[in-house]
Amino acid sequence: MTPSLAREDFDAVVVGSGPNGLAAAVHLAREGASVLVVEGEAEIGGGTRTAESTLPGFRHDVCSAVHTLGILSPFFRTLPLEEHGLRWVQPAASLAHPLDDGPAVTLWRSLERTCEELGSDAGAYRRMVGPLLRDPHGFLSDVLGPLGIPRHPLLFAHFGAHAPWPATVLAKTLFRGERARALLAGCAGHSVLPLETWFTAALAVMFAVSGHVEEWPVAAGGSEAIPRALASLLGESGGVVQRGVRIRSLGELPSARVYLFDTSPDQLASICEPVLPAGYVRRLRRYRYGPGVFKVDWALDGPIPWRDPNCLQASTLHLGGTLEEIAASEAAMYRGHHSERPYVILCQQSQFDDSRAPDGKQTGYAYCHVPANSDVDRSEAIEAQIERFAPGFRDRILARHVMRTRDFFDHNRNFVGGAVTGGVADVFQLFTRPVARINPYTTPNPRVLICSSATPPGGGVHGMCGYHAARTALKRIDRFQVSPLG
């Protein structure tokens, strides 16, 4: 039986309980607003859930796994989330990037230790990230928000000198050696764009900086600990979460002053079409979501046997070899093809969090980018890339579980076509997501806002889309009476 939705009145209703929706609700509630969060699934969290998807006792993150920006989020850092059960578990190193010839390139928190691995490119790498480390939290507060006047203009200017470039151009311009180029390419690959695309260098630089501020962590017990902590804090602040109620029309919403949607643009268009201008709805439906992902989880009979033991010290592995190989893989994927040697992102949470697997066992997690709506099984290609750098990996596999693009969409309706990053972040959509407006969290209806990763700063478990949307809502909430929407 579908639960009935609470009908009492609220100041704000948030549709969707991903990290952004919960962040918006927490900020509103801590500022004194009465808030209801409505979640269509039985579990909260959106892309931050955990499940025993292979064998009993093996706990796998369903989507988001390593929280590079979660630990650095300017909003999360202001919240007492540890008092509500969230504990970050940090590795010795954020990232390892294995190569066929020579040891892996490792991103250590120490800038100098990282530079020692880059040979003749150490100076260029130090000049690229060093100035941003003078005030990294100030830098991140500027980049993790909508386009505007930066509060740290000198830092932003340094970032701006590198960010607009295609990652391939920046890597070949700054670095002469294969190791530094590969490190930059692997970080840029998270953009889910061809590395020849403008602004792909921005994510590469930001990821590199983040690894020198905090080691990229996992959440103890699984990524589900993040939404649980946010929901607990929300409850302490007087907010309410209702699960298992999927909103499909305006009439299903209770009365409120404002409504925030942690949804994809197409869901916002479908639900709110009666109260939004037709032209705006058409633009929402033209939003580009981009490629999807194919993911494999493994139950393993021991650690991954990396050729370079340093790889066991990192929470994240970028598997793809050289800059040229990664660029070719991502370009092919974006054109609708499946590379024989895909760029693979691998996470080894149980290496650092012993609650993830039975004693003596380990979990494995890896994915590659695929064309939207792809149904091609990429597990063999992913395992071949791991075996390339960890001979004997297949011998450790006890069980596997795969997720295709359709599985991701079924898991979370925001993942249209299997896209988990909130939408294409190229030059045409990076600053205008989801629709070009002075305030991207607003819509033409002043009571309706969008707070999902389809708004700046985009994908990632950082809550900043929700935080910025909530700040906008607080400026207008008193202008409206509690009433139905529409």
Instruction: Quote the number of domains for the chain.
Output: 1
Q: How far apart are CA 122 and CA 107, in angstroms?
A: 13
Q: Is the pLDDT of residue 2 over 80?
A: no
Give residue-wise pLDDT tens across range 430-467. Answer: 889 999 999 999 999 999 999 999 999 999 999 999 99
Residue 4 has pLDDT above 70, yes or no: no
Please state whether 128 falls in left (phi above 0), alpha (psi between -120 and 50) or beta.
alpha
Domain range for 232 is 10-53+75-84+220-287+422-479
Question: What average pLDDT does the segment 9-36 reach?
Answer: 97
pLDDT at residue 3 is higher than 70? no
Q: What is the mean pLDDT of the chain?
A: 96
Q: For position 1, what pLDDT does the model report?
A: 34
- pLDDT confidence tier of residue 147, bands split at 50, 70 and 90: confident
Which CATH number characterizes residue 45's domain? 3.50.50.60
Q: Percent of the chain scored above 70 by pLDDT?
A: 99
pLDDT of residue 45: 97
Whether 264 maps to a domain, the answer reads yes
The whole-angstrom separation of Cα 180 and Cα 352 is: 26
- CA nearest to 198, candidates 436, 429, 430, 426: 426
Percent of the chain, pLDDT > 90? 97
Does any domain span residue 445? yes
Within-domain flag for 42: yes
The reported pLDDT for the residue numbered 6 is 54
Location of structure tokens 């012993």: 354
Kindly state whether residue 194 falls inside one of the protein's structural domains.
Answer: no
| Residue range 315-341: mean pLDDT, rounded | 98
The answer to whether the pTM exceeds 0.75 is yes
Considering the domain boundaries, does residue 460 fall inside one?
yes
- pLDDT tier for residue 486 given thresholds of 50, 70 and 90: confident
pLDDT digits 0-9 by tens, 47-80: 999 999 999 999 999 999 999 999 999 999 999 9
Is 167 within the bounds of a domain?
no
Q: For residue 128, give the amino acid letter.
A: M
What is the pLDDT at residue 7?
A: 53
Residue 59 lies in a domain: no
